[in-house]
Amino acid sequence: MSAASYTGIPLALMATTAYNVGLILEKRALGQMPALDLRRLPRVIVSLLTSRAWLAGFALMLTGLACQIVVLTFEPVSVVQPVLASGVVLALVLSRLVLRERLRGGETWCVAVIAVSVVLLALSTTSAEARHYASPGWMAAVMVPSVVVGLLLAASSLRASTGKRGAPAGVWSGVGTGLLYGVAALAIKALSGILLRHQAAVGIAIGIASSPYLYALAACLAVAMLLFQVALQRCRASIVIPVSAVTGSAYFIIAGTWLFHEHLPASPSKLGLRLAGIALAALVVIALSRQAPQAAGAAADGAGMAGGPLAEVRR
């Protein structure tokens, strides 16, 4: 393990802890709010910004993102992202202890497999050198279609959930927002290189402000956050958070390793762990999408728990 890893890995752990604790606080705050309707966007924004509890969670999320940007300046994607993905386990524990959510039927096995996939990805990490340059053309070719697919999945699943009680909104909105967050992570990775290329604060500020990745990051985070908040309010955190996190992690590891020319694990065993972790994550999404229609109706039964009355909104 490199000297940088002794600093980078704890910082990544701090980032994922702050991020996932923030999500749980947001979920609890959302349970006390009126139903969010993205067709009335100004009202949604006002509801969020006037809730102190939600703002506290959002501040923790931003802290986690800031730590992520810093750690990506001196650690490769293949090391950082599995550590960040380990926050899924914390989110699942907190969703049970704080929100009193319970998994049903095959969901328990699916979430257990998510935890296993995170462990496999973590075990596949290597001490490869962190790189920060990617071809702008290839970045656009990967990011634009990913944003389109993410928007379609998240928006269509949430729209379907308003009129069809059994729609697996939690799963597919998790996949959609995971893709959007994964694209945002690619932009963060690209921006992190600016911190290394410039020493003076003025140079860093000018470099970031003139980078298209800053605006791609802002747009992706804004849209993903709004979609994610609606999904988090309507669905159980124990489904939405892990699916979104694992989708974003797998996407970021695959796309980031290729775009930034970071090496895959040279060891066949570590490469096998990496591929197995990604494959398990994909299988979990498929399995959960089949579980969700049967579990969606039951999700509302626990809506009066600590997570609030809107764990599954009925319209």
Q: Which domain holds residue 73?
A: 3-298
Is the pLDDT assigned to residue 253 strictly greater than 90?
A: no
Q: What mean pLDDT, rounded, does the chain reach?
A: 76
- Asked if the model's pLDDT at residue 8 lies above 60, the reply is yes
Write down the pLDDT at residue 166. 39
- Higher confidence at residue 23 or residue 127? 23
Q: How confident is the model at residue 164 (pLDDT cuts 50, 70, 90)?
A: very low
Would residue 308 count as lying in a domain? no
Tell me what the mean pLDDT of segment 213-219 comes to.
Answer: 89
pLDDT surpasses 50 at 98: yes
More confident call, 267 vs 3: 267
Establish if 61 belongs to a structural domain. Answer: yes
Q: What is the pLDDT of residues 294-306, one digit of tens each?
A: 443 444 344 333 3
**Above 90 in pLDDT, residue 276?**
no
Handedness of CA 203, 208, 18, 89 (dihedral sign): negative
**How far, in Å, are 156, 262, 272 from residue 127 at the CA level?**
40, 11, 17
Tell me whether residue 310 is in a domain: no
pLDDT of 289 strictly over 50: yes
Ranges 5-14, 137-146, 265-274, most confident: 137-146
pLDDT over 70, % of the chain: 72
pLDDT (tens digit per residue) in 167-176: 466 788 889 9
Within-domain flag for 119: yes
- The residues near 5 (Cβ < 8 Å, ≥ 6 apart) are 75, 79, 127
Question: Is the residue at 145 inside a domain?
Answer: yes
Q: What is the pLDDT of residue 198?
A: 64
Stretch 5-10: mean pLDDT: 66
**Does some domain include residue 206?**
yes
**pLDDT value at 241 more than 50:** yes
Contacts of 265 (CB under 8 A, 6+ apart): 78, 124, 126, 271, 273, 274
Question: Is residue 311 in some structural domain?
Answer: no
Q: Indicate the residue type of 176.
A: G
267 in a structural domain: yes
Count of domains observed in the chain: 1
